Amino acid sequence: MSSRAVPGRPGMTTTAETLVARLDGDFTSHTVDADGTAIHCVSGGTGPPVLLVHGFPQDWYEWRHVMPRLARGHTVHAVDLRGVGGSDAPADGYDAVRLGGDLAELVETLGIGPVHVVGHDIGGWAAYALTRLRPDLVSSALILEVLFPGLDVPDSPVPGVPLWHGEFHQVPHLPETLVAGREEAYFRYFLDIGTAVPGVVTDDEIAHYASAYGEPARLHAAFEMYRAIPKNARFFRDGCDPVDVPLLLAGGEQCFGPLMPALARHLTAAHGWSSVTDVVVPGGRHYLPEELPDAVAELIERHAQSVRK
């Protein structure tokens, strides 16, 4: 495994190694070959393995406040999805199944399975796919703040947050054209409305995220993840085989949290999951690992501990 800097425009962000050095604990930055695609992750700590998967518009650094606490009792691996940050950005392969396949390759290459996988936002789709397709590699799954296209969930409340960007991001080429060079302003919009405390994500941190998506191939990759939604919807809808991995769905009180109970019931009743529980995080919105890291770390620790009992 080799160290690798997070690519970006000069002066906009620091390397992964510099960011890792700021973490409280002994963490290292490295890449792993996942069937020909280099996947970057940051690892540290000792104990049962936890795999952290970021959402949009973030990279591994989303977990910076959660990782040191988890590392006291777990070996933590925070990954960059393909196309983001320090990972390779191939032209295709951004559907949930392929992203989950990258995670499976990473787990097998590192020899760390089974893992407690935690996915936020789009990272939740990848974590779900990993768990459904390779349950042998997963001890437990915790999915934060994401819904699953293609699932017709009975009695589900209507989301109380704007979701316009999902359709916009699926338009071919246009989002790249409009957002290129304006990543910081665009990402700031989402991170501001998605957190309950103004400024919880700083300008420097947003500049880092902008750099993680700043190359044309990486910005394209971000929108390709949304263009894969129709394919993902078929995967989520058709997946009904039994899965005997404990799944916890968590959402912020001010975002998707109120929808989690109905989704949990539906996955148990219609999609083969043997154990699905749900949690609403009080006071939280969408970017829970950044605005309420202690609450998220406690959820992860508690869920992982419940599996070991």
User: For the chain, what is the mean pLDDT?
Assistant: 94
Q: Are 70 and 300 in contact (CB under 8 A)?
A: yes
Share of the chain above pLDDT 70, in %: 95
Residue 286 located in a structural domain: yes
Question: Which is higher by pLDDT, 112 or 160?
Answer: 112
pLDDT at 14: 53
Residue 171 pLDDT greater than 90, yes or no:
yes
pLDDT at 13: 40
By DSSP bridging, strand 115-120 and strand 138-144 are parallel
Residue 1 located in a structural domain: no
Residue 123 located in a structural domain: yes
pLDDT at 307: 87
pLDDT at 12: 33
Give the range of the structural domain holding residue 211, as residue numbers without chain letter: 16-308
3-class SS of residue 120: strand
3-class SS of residue 308: helix
Q: Please give the Cα distance from 132 to 119 (Å, whole number).
A: 14
Residue 58 located in a structural domain: yes
User: Mean pLDDT throughout 101-112?
Assistant: 97
Residue 153 pLDDT greater than 60, yes or no:
yes
Residue 4 pLDDT greater than 90, yes or no:
no
By DSSP bridging, strand 27-34 and strand 138-144 are unpaired
User: Mean pLDDT throughout 139-157?
Assistant: 96
> Token pair of 237, please?
């809808």
Q: Please give the Cα distance from 117 to 102 (Å, whole number).
A: 13
The confidence band for 17, taking pLDDT boundaries of 50, 70 and 90, is: confident
Residue 228 pLDDT greater than 90, yes or no:
yes
Residue 130 located in a structural domain: yes
pLDDT at 16: 81
Residue 76 located in a structural domain: yes
Helical (H) or strand (E) element with 235? helix 229-238
Q: Please give the Cα distance from 148 to 34 (Å, whole number).
A: 25
Burial of 10 (0-12, 13-18, 19+ CB in 10 A): exposed
| CA angle (210 as vertex; 204, 212 as ends), nearest 5 | 105
Question: Which is higher by pLDDT, 172 or 9?
Answer: 172
Residue 8 pLDDT greater than 70, yes or no:
no
pLDDT at 43: 97
pLDDT at 15: 74
Residue 23 located in a structural domain: yes
CA distances from 22 to 26, 38, 67, 292 (A): 10, 24, 12, 19
Residue 24 pLDDT greater than 80, yes or no:
yes
CATH number at residue 79: 3.40.50.1820
Residue 274 pLDDT greater than 70, yes or no:
yes
Residue 166 located in a structural domain: yes
pTM listed for this prediction: 0.95
The confidence band for 244, taking pLDDT boundaries of 50, 70 and 90, is: very high
Residue whose tokens read 């070959």: 33
Tell me the per-residue pLDDT of 278-309, one tens digit each, with 9 for 90 and over.
999 999 999 999 999 999 999 999 999 998 75
Residue 251 pLDDT greater than 70, yes or no:
yes
Tell me the per-residue pLDDT of 51-98, one tens digit each, with 9 for 90 and over.
999 999 999 999 999 999 999 999 999 999 999 999 999 999 999 999
Q: How many domains does one find in the chain?
A: 1
- Asked which of 160-164, 181-185, 254-258 is least confident by mean pLDDT, the reply is 160-164
Residue 132 pLDDT greater than 80, yes or no:
yes
> Token pair of 32, please?
């792993």
Residue 46 pLDDT greater than 80, yes or no:
yes
